[in-house]
Structure 1
Amino acid sequence: MKIILATFLSGSLAALSAPPVMAQTAEVQAAPASAQQLSGDIFIRNAIATAQALDAGGAGQVYDTGSAALKASTTRQQFTEAVASTNARTGGVVAREWSRVERVRVAPPAEGANAPAVPGGNYITVYLLARTASGTAHLEQVSFRLDEDNQWRLSGVTALLPEQSQG
């Protein structure tokens, strides 16, 4: 199986405030035939690179390489505005580390049933702990979906800010 994940280069990882130079597709040849057998390291690296690209103003590029599920759930403008709003609220992220990786299989809806909020398929979500320059921390979810063409693509990004995680 050929796994293609979008990665985003910002010229220098130390210069996160610089705009992304380009979006590049990283191709990884993987022997396993199942999403459950893939190494989480691939997704951790891509989740961190995606979050860094969003920090650096690359929301449009991130959206453009996203899955059909992402594009069906929001417009490019809504996505870029949401990212800008979140970045303004959190301030600059100075460090990220992964917390956990979840693999989930969502069953397709039964014939004739209403379409679910999340399309059926294989998903991998990487949870990142992001620390800001002001000393606060928040959790980020970066999710990937195995699309119908057997390519993994970004399906969603969510920042769980402290006021959102309480009550």
Structure 2
Amino acid sequence: MMRSMLSIVFSTVLLAAPALVAAQTTAGPARPATAPAAAPAVADAQQREALARQDAQMSAAAARVAGLIDAGNAGQVWDGAAEVMRKATSRPGFIQAMAADRQRLGAVVQRGQPSVTRVQYAAGGAVPQGVYLNVSFATRFANSAQPVRELVSFRLDEDRTWRVSGYSVRPVGQ
């Protein structure tokens, strides 16, 4: 049930993604010299609005992923994850790592406002090639005096669906 919900969320978010990815990863086509002066401003405003919508949708999806981890349902996250994540870690390994993090950190006390970043990695790097969207939260846990950076990463897979590609907790600033 949760896997299908996550797939629906990611598929819904995907509807605006192709134009957004192009806008984020390229300078865009050259505008003809005869274009009206207002056209670029309108296009830029539309792109900003589309990015804001995507940020909100992906932030909500990341909060749901974090909520599944909070509830001890890391296996459901792994089940719906991108192939790059599933190749990087086994299901039992992911579940065990999430349980160890939660045991060390304790329960979530407060999750801060999300921050969204986007990146495109080329082939041959440490991270598999592709377009990624990262949502981070400054999260307070019961057993940690300082906030922890909670990061949920998504990858735009070949079928044009955003899927979880990583989850981690680190001290703020790392």
1:28 maps to 12
Please give the secondary structure, in 2, of the residue aligned with 1:28.
Answer: helix
Greater strand proportion: 1
Aligned length, in residue pairs: 138
Assess if the C-alpha contact under 8 Å between 2:132 and 2:156 holds in 1.
Answer: yes
Q: Identity of counterpart residues, as a percentage?
A: 36
Matched, 1:122 2:122: no
Any unmatched runs of 5+ in structure 2? 25-49
Q: Which has the larger radius of gyration?
A: 2
The equivalences for 1:144-159 within 5 A come to 144-159=154-169
Please give the secondary structure, in 2, of the residue aligned with 1:118.
Answer: coil
Please give the secondary structure, in 2, of the residue aligned with 1:129.
Answer: strand
Please give the secondary structure, in 2, of the residue aligned with 1:98.
Answer: coil
Q: Distance in 1 between matches of 2:93 and 2:84?
A: 15
Any unmatched runs of 5+ in structure 1? 1-20, 110-115
How far did residue 32 of structure 1 move?
4.9
Decide which of 19, 41, 52 is 2:56's aligned counterpart. 41
Q: Distance in 2 between matches of 1:81 and 1:159?
A: 14
Q: Distance in 1 between matches of 2:79 and 2:63?
A: 18
Greater helix proportion: 2
The equivalences for 1:94-109 within 5 A come to 94-109=109-124
Assess if the C-alpha contact under 8 Å between 1:98 and 1:126 holds in 2.
Answer: no
2:77 maps to 62
Q: Distance in 2 between matches of 1:67 and 1:107?
A: 17
Q: Deviations over 1:123-157 (max 9, x none)?
A: 00011111123563211111000001111000000
Q: Deviations over 1:79-129 (max 9, x none)?
A: 0000000000110002212342110010123xxxxxx33111100001111
Closer/same/farther in 2, CA of residues 31 and 78 from structure 1, 3 Å limit: closer
Q: Give the structure-1-normalised TM-score.
A: 0.74
Q: Distance in 2 between matches of 1:158 and 1:57?
A: 15
Assess if the C-alpha contact under 8 Å between 2:104 and 2:143 holds in 1.
Answer: no
Assess if the C-alpha contact under 8 Å between 1:106 and 1:122 holds in 2.
Answer: yes
Decide which of 103, 115, 118 is 1:88's aligned counterpart. 103
Q: Give the structure-2-normalised TM-score.
A: 0.71
RMSD: 2.1
